[in-house]
């Protein structure tokens, strides 16, 4: 029962974040600024520490940080391939970049669901702690998913479709843990790769885009607010 309620909460948290971004589309540069900060905050304050902790007994720190770098470079190559592939169709290529970003967030949410499911296999107490950490950034995941689509010129309908996919991803992740297990070391490396993905998305995509037409101190302030909000939230949960 507890796991079911927590899974539902992750869905609602993601949806509320995405709907917030859709409603205030005219302030997209501010949302993108906050989103960039939130993505970078998740990478540094959530994914990286968790990856290091989970992998500590199996891999050296240098291996984990190396996977972070590989994740960053791998996502960069994917981004370049998508852009070059559609260089004669700029609008379509931009749209593909949005899909790549939204898909990454959805896949991360799926991994969140796996983390919750595996944690509950250990104990209900551990499961609740992990779930709280997931809920902390699910709201920003919803914002980030919608921002990725809107930033690339996608429609509200398309953004909402990806939002639904992202909201349902943790449910599928929880269900998936009924059929397989991941050892903690492997899960840590997976989280490290997502850390690299998110660092690229935040620093090389969302952040420059937020300043493209609105290079204001307010936009920069929203980025700092995004980083700070994730730091405070994750710190308060003790994760």
pLDDT (mean) for 153-174: 86
Distance (Å, rounded) from C-alpha 73 to C-alpha 81? 12
Residue 238: exposed, middle, or buried by beta-carbon count in 10 A (0-12, 13-18, 19+)? exposed
Distance (Å, rounded) from C-alpha 203 to C-alpha 191? 18
Distance (Å, rounded) from C-alpha 154 to C-alpha 30? 18
Distance (Å, rounded) from C-alpha 70 to C-alpha 47? 15
Distance (Å, rounded) from C-alpha 153 to C-alpha 234? 32
Average pLDDT, the chain: 78
Which of 2, 12, 43 has its CA nearest to residue 234? 43
DSSP 15-32: HHHHHHHHHTGGGHHHHH
Domain, as residue range, for 205: 2-237
**Neighbour count for residue 128 (Cβ, 10 Å):** 16
Percentage above 70 pLDDT, the chain? 80
> What's the pLDDT tens digit per position in 42-80?
889 888 988 898 899 999 999 999 999 999 998 888 777
pTM equals 0.66
Residue 127 has pLDDT above 80, yes or no: no
pLDDT at 62: 95
Contacts of 156 (CB under 8 A, 6+ apart): 22, 25, 150
Residue 86 has pLDDT above 60, yes or no: no
Distance (Å, rounded) from C-alpha 133 to C-alpha 129? 7
Question: Domain tally for the chain?
Answer: 1
pLDDT at 210: 64
Say if CB 170 and CB 116 are below 8 A apart.
Answer: yes
Say if CB 196 and CB 70 are below 8 A apart.
Answer: yes
> What's the pLDDT tens digit per position in 179-210?
877 788 888 898 898 889 889 888 876 677 66
* Alpha-helix residue ranges (DSSP H) falling in 56-183: 61-85, 90-122, 124-151, 156-176
């Amino acid at each position: 029962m507890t796991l079911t309620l927590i899974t539902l909460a992750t869905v609602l948290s993601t949806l509320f974040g995405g709907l917030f971004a859709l409603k205030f589309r005219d302030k997209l540069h501010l949302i993108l600024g906050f989103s960039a900060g939130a993505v970078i905050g998740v990478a540094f304050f959530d994914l990286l520490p968790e990856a290091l902790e989970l992998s500590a007994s199996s891999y050296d720190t240098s291996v984990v940080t190396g996977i972070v770098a590989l994740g960053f470079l791998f996502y960069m190559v994917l981004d370049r391939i998508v852009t070059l592939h559609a260089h004669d169709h700029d609008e379509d290529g931009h749209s593909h970049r949005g899909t790549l970003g939204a898909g990454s967030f959805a896949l991360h949410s799926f991994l969140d669901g796996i983390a919750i499911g595996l944690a509950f296999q250990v104990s209900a107490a551990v499961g609740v702690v992990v779930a709280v950490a997931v809920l902390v950034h699910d709201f920003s995941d919803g914002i980030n998913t919608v921002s990725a689509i809107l930033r690339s010129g996608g429609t509200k309908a398309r953004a909402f479709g990806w939002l639904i996919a992202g909201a349902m991803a943790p449910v599928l992740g929880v269900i998936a843990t009924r059929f397989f297990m991941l050892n903690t070391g492997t899960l840590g490396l997976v989280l490290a790769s997502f850390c690299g993905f998110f660092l690229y998305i935040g620093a090389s995509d969302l952040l420059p885009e937020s300043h493209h037409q609105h290079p204001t101190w307010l936009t920069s302030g929203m980025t700092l607010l995004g980083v700070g909000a994730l730091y405070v939230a994750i710190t308060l949960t003790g994760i």
